[in-house]
Structure 1
């Protein structure tokens, strides 16, 4: 019997030459996972059959032509392609990028059409996905185009949440990309996500400095004094719980991050190095600020171990649970927002 209330979770397979299929199949090899959601993998029967045989993973699945045919209690595989792509584990090639994008596009289309409730994406390779019809540095930028909202790369665990002012931008270009409008937008996106997706009533956010020691009063750069500080003061005066800029070198080692609901880093490695150091294998990459829920594991294609059965699926499993919980939190938030009387009842 179909459970109409169970969340339909779409899954894109990522690069077929990487560890994407492995971590997906290992996650749902545990039959208890099917009690939490109805998984719908966007690939093909033959691709999944090849992967499970090569990796020695004992799962059964149900092949379907579209998400509407998904069965509860089964691993469902939407047949996005009929041909049999050549899998060369550990190799970054055009074939891997081509089918990663086919899977992603099909899954996102289902998400936009409400055929699935949330999406978890397995890792892609940023080099081989580039094509005439796909010129994005990664998932986040593509999803920002396809789904409504202000996208934010938000790395999350239960205890640590780090957003990025700039994500896949060269370090030399990051300072010039940061301006007052960007800061305001990212802070508001984090605040909204914390309230709507993580049940934080009064979000408290820390901003990290752009320069070492936040510029040391202009001695090591003026961006912190001229760009960050005025916006933080303006937003603080307007009632936002925004603080900083903090010197990034000591912020995490001193456990200062534990005093905030989220941290906003100036650029990619400033946020992701401490995040992965503190929570690798438990972390989740969440694209906040969009009209739909999308998560992914906190690692890449791991070509160096692909096809060897060595991949740890912990982060992918966490990404699944995060997507389910965020979808539930958001649904409840929207219901309460639309029905103030019910909101009052809940508060009692």
Structure 2
């Protein structure tokens, strides 16, 4: 059954309480038109959101609930994940804020796994203060990869610009040692499947960027392209995947080559995210492709320098909500089409 728009339940983790998460969430949903697109559920505590609402002079009307059976469409639902009061000190990096960011995220992920929310949108966290004996993950993506089915891949999205990563949160001096034919094959196949089922692109074209300057210059500046990347790309191409490269990364975006492809796969974090954020900052979305559930987030961090000042731009968070809903609908359409038997010609 296809859900009506307002009944698509968007689970939202609050992120770092001292960052801009609460502000961009409230600014997004105080626009009543958003409540016609979905039903938001913020995993936090209604007292925290009420404090933020007063601080930012928000007009958002909050509906506090103690379990997910109490969700009301047309309302900004706030699930009380914890009962105790928590001090909020905007702009401050502290361990307590990290603890509650994790509580919110873990509870929201659990609801996503159980199908109690349809999609998950995560507000920004601080990767340092979330670390504990119970939570030892570099960020959202790594935890989701453990908890959900599939193989997580960070895919940055802004309209038709989509940038994925072969490696993400690892030190630059370890990137080359992580590159294998198997890794490249898996990542390309994940991106291809996501483009088909999540973005409704039947025959996607994918570009892969080289690791070394000038994509190795034929082996003069490194052998990874010749020995690992080209063989992997060639095998996939021969099997019907429209994948090309490896391309020299330095001129790829400046020459607008990226516009010829449905997705670009960078070899490491900054190689992909620097050009992506240069082209789209403020409107980009971080989508975790490759999983059986849908999660998006804005393309920015906690922004402690802006926190509490009523200056944060909610556009990226709003785009993350839009994209999550679009992908949810695309997946449902793909599932319906996949079920239909192929028509045969009448004799």
If the length of structure 1 is used for normalisation, what is the TM-score? 0.96
Partner of 1:306: 307
The Cα of 1:339 is off from its aligned counterpart by 2.8
Q: CA deviation at 1:5?
A: 6.7
For structure 2, the residue ranges without an aligned partner over 5 or more in a row are none
The 1-side partners of 2:276 and 2:341 are apart by 37
CA drift at 1:66: 1.8
**1:283 equivalenced with 2:299 (yes/no):** no
Q: Which residue of 2 aligns with 1:185?
A: 186
> Which residue of structure 1 lines up, in the alignment, with residue 81 of structure 2?
80
Q: What is the CA-CA distance between 1:229 and the residue it aligns to?
A: 0.8
Q: Distance in 2 between matches of 1:309 and 1:63?
A: 23
Note the C-alpha offset of 1:84: 1.0
1:197-276, aligned counterparts within 5 Å? 197-276=198-277
Asked if structure 1 preserves the Cα contact closer than 8 Å seen for 2:6 and 2:74, the reply is no
Equivalent residue number for residue 58 of structure 1: 59
Paired position in structure 1 for 2:338: 337
Alignment partner of 1:131: what SS?
Answer: coil
Distance 1:263 1:95 in 2: 38
- Given that 1:12 and 1:104 are in contact with CA atoms closer than 8 Å, whether structure 2 keeps it comes out as yes
CA distance in 2: counterparts of 1:25 and 1:338, whole angstroms: 39
Q: Which runs of 4+ in 1 moved over 3 A?
A: 2-5
1:156-175, aligned counterparts within 5 Å?
156-175=157-176
Residues paired across the two proteins, number: 342
- Measure the CA separation in 2 of the matches of 1:321 and 1:158: 11
Partner of 2:91: 90
> Which residue does 2:293 correspond to in 1?
292
Contact 1:68/1:115, CA 8 A, preserved across alignment:
no
- Are 1:154 and 2:155 counterparts? yes
Kept in 1, the 8 Å contact 2:18–2:304? The answer is: yes
CA distance in 2, matches of 1:151, 1:197: 14
Give the root-mean-square deviation of aligned CA atoms.
1.4
- Tell whether the 8 Å contact from 1:111 to 1:292 is kept in structure 2 after alignment: yes
**Structure 1 gap ranges (5+):** none
TM-score with structure 2 length normalisation?
0.96
Structure 1 residue 68 displacement after superposition: 2.2
**CA offsets 1:188-242 (integer angstroms, 9 cap, x no match):** 0000000000000001100000000001111111111111111111111111111
